Amino acid sequence: MYRVELDKARRRWRTYLMAAALGGIPVLIVIAVKLSPPTPEASGDAPPFLLQIVRNGLFAPLTGLAVIQPFFLPLAAGLLSGDAIAGEAQGGTLRYLLVRPVSRPRLVLAKYGAAMTLLGILLLWVVGCGALVGGVVFGFGPLPTLSGTTLGAPAALLRILAAAGYILLGVSGIVAIGLFVSTLTDSGPGATVATVILGIASEICDQIPSLRAIHPYLPTHGWLAFTDLFRFPVEWAGMRAGFAVSAAYTLVFLAGALASFARRDVAS
């Protein structure tokens, strides 16, 4: 079933649309920086990564990841997970899958696996596009870490891939929430929008200081901890906490999705 899901995604325009949009972001950044290189004086509020691109193409994939994570990633995750069950229900194909028969738990888990796989591929694609275009335009060099040391280009690329991996683990909680919402409704767009709003609301709450008490329990808490990979030595505590939160949301909401889907009457 998991393979069937991936095969369906492969033949779907929206997959390529998402890839084009996400892969375009690091490319756009490189083009923008090339056309008007930031100067230290003029870049008071520019992200620190942007300043570095001119010196090292490796910053392009890293900036790409940093830029898609807060908005485009929850959007893609919401689309892939929210539409997963609800979209099939809306299109009427859900009943034909279930009488094939595909057991309900298997369908939910296959949808989760396929959504995570596609998000992983999209993240790799962003890193790949960024590294390629950044490398061609600016060349590769050693990457300065946040602690002042430097990393050789191959080691730096590995760290960037590790960052993509951490970002993927972080979004798993949102995917599980999306699947749960998806089992509650017959409207694919409805479930998608609800999931995206939840994800972004969680990020906003995470930024509001007076809500500090709930920060450690937000599904997106710790998303930015991937920057700790670029310290020397690597600071694991933030990522460990982020992983724990995401894993907890994944377990709870996948269980919720399985339970709610098992009880549901498929009358669509």
Which residues contribute to the site for other proteins (CB under 8 A)?
Answer: 1, 3-4, 7-8, 11-13, 91-93, 95-104, 106, 262-267
Q: Which of 168, 167, 198 is nearest to 181 (CA)?
A: 198
Element holding 81 (H helix, E strand): helix 72-91
Provide the minimum distance between the beta carbon of 36 and other proteins in the complex, in angstroms, as a whole number.
Answer: 40
Q: Are 22 and 72 in contact (CB under 8 A)?
A: yes
- Smallest gap from Cβ 260 to other proteins, in A, equals 12
Nearest alpha-carbon partner for 119 in 160, 81, 157: 81
Residue nearer to other proteins on the CB measure, 11 or 212: 11
Task: Output the DSSP codes for 32-66.
Answer: HHHHS---TTT-TTS-HHHHHHTT-TTHHHHHHHH
**Nearest distance in Å: CB 236, other proteins:** 40
Six token digits for residue 86: 């609800």
Give the nearer residue to other proteins in terms of CB position, either 99 or 213.
Answer: 99
Residue 138 CB, shortest distance to other proteins, in Å, is: 39
Nearer to other proteins, 20 or 146 (CB): 20
Nearer to other proteins, 101 or 148 (CB): 101
C-beta of 1 vs 54, nearer to other proteins: 1
Beta-carbon contacts of 223 under 8 Å, excluding residues fewer than 6 positions away, are: 69, 70, 167, 170, 203, 242
> Minimum CB separation from other proteins for residue 83, in Å?
12
